[in-house]
Amino acid sequence: MGAERAAIQVRRSADVKRTLSAQFLFRELYEAALKCSDSEFIKFQQRSLRELLPGFDPQVLVVSVQEISPGGTLMAADSFRSVNIDRSAFLLYRQVHETDDVFPHSWSNPGTAVFNTDFRSMEQWKDTRLYQEFKSPLGLYQAVLLTYRLPFATQKFMKFVYDSGAGRQFCDRITKDEIEFVTTPFMYAWLFKRGFMDEAAFRRVLQLLTDLSPVQLFLLRELVNIPVYQNSSVAQKFRISGRVVNNYFANIYGQIAHLLPERPSSEARAAPLVDLVRHYSFLSLAGAPLIAQTAALDK
């Protein structure tokens, strides 16, 4: 399918890595999630994305919960908030996205950023009725969609839709993986704000995410989404050696060891990988990359 890619691409910039810093997660994101209204928080998200991922400046940002039938039909949608689109244009905007043929690809690939140009060139996109009659009049150009499954609600999804302004393309400056990385903590913040996660669980998630690198996050996402929790399974998916994967997981375990209860020495040898799976199981909501290669990312 058009949305698949052969390698994870995340730039090692200080801005992107700041996404999972303690400073951002607890002094900015957590405080905003606690104190801001939905409309204030989505504006905070838009401002933060500009800082964390330079070049990513969505003109319109919409966060919604959608209920999808087992056959892939949109049954209901509840928009939390949108930014930079007035009320008179919002009904038209919803009509745009409910008729967008890219939406089903987003539902079927949770956690994967899907561009509306994954399936056609930009010139072909500009020739579509959807663009000419809906997107263009609203001053919108390119969209990227990210969908996450809601916990304990198998037919409901949280969807982020980012739209660029007229004549501006996201994919000229940023990658899917960067968008997935910077969106991840906001997904958990919205789960907390909408009552799918209590405050203690939200703080715990932020503690476990603190200081993870992009590569570590993607490796953990894969680990908790495979049926056999083995380094070799993750290594095969990411096309790197089992030794490299083991080093990544050992470093992550060292980072979070102070958060874990002490184990009897007789259990210690087998515990680390099992502990990682158990404590990072929340990343199953964030999805797992389809095909990945990370060998050169942390050089």
Q: Give the pLDDT score at 22.
A: 95
Q: Is 151 left (phi over 0), alpha (psi -120 to 50) or beta?
A: beta
C-beta separation of 135 from 161 below 8 A: no
What CATH number should be reported for the domain whose range is 212-286?
Answer: 1.10.10
Q: Give the pLDDT score at 263.
A: 58
Give me the CATH topology for the region 36-195. Answer: Beta-Lactamase (3.30.450)
Beta strands in 22-73 (DSSP E): 60-68
Give the whole-angstrom CA distance, residue 21 versus residue 30.
Answer: 12
Q: What is the pLDDT of residues 22-39, one digit of tens each?
A: 999 999 999 999 999 998
Q: Give the pLDDT score at 14.
A: 63
Q: Give the pLDDT score at 5.
A: 37
Measured from the Cβ of residue 227, the count of other Cβ atoms closer than 10 Å reads 6
For residue 173, CA distances in Å to 8, 11, 55, 57, 90 come to 15, 11, 6, 11, 28
Give me the count of residues in the chain: 299
Do 36-195 and 212-286 show the same overall fold? no
Q: Give the pLDDT score at 201.
A: 95
Q: Give the pLDDT score at 173.
A: 74
Q: Give the pLDDT score at 297.
A: 37
What are the extents of the domains in the chain?
36-195, 212-286
C-beta separation of 80 from 38 below 8 A: yes
Q: Give the pLDDT score at 146.
A: 93
Q: Give the pLDDT score at 9.
A: 65
Write the CB contacts of 234 (distance below 8 Å, at least 6 apart in sequence): 219, 222, 223, 226, 245
For residue 31, CA distances in Å to 20, 25, 41 come to 15, 9, 10
Q: Give the pLDDT score at 67.
A: 82
Chain position carrying tokens 């330079």: 54
Q: Give the pLDDT score at 129.
A: 82
Mean pLDDT per 10-residue interval, the chain, length 299 residues: 46 75 96 95 93 88 83 70 73 69 80 88 87 84 89 82 84 83 95 93 96 90 78 76 86 85 55 84 76 35
Q: Give the pLDDT score at 203.
A: 96
User: In 3-state terms, what secondary structure has residue 4?
Assistant: coil
This prediction's pTM: 0.85
Give the whole-angstrom CA distance, residue 144 versus residue 58.
Answer: 9
Q: What is the pLDDT of residues 221-275, one digit of tens each?
A: 988 887 666 677 777 777 778 888 888 888 998 888 888 776 555 455 556 788 8
Q: Give the pLDDT score at 3.
A: 39
Transcribe 214-252 into DSSP letters: HHHHHHHHHHHTSSS--HHHHHHHHTS-HHHHHHHHHHH
Q: Give the pLDDT score at 73.
A: 66
Give the whole-angstrom CA distance, residue 98 versus residue 208.
Answer: 35
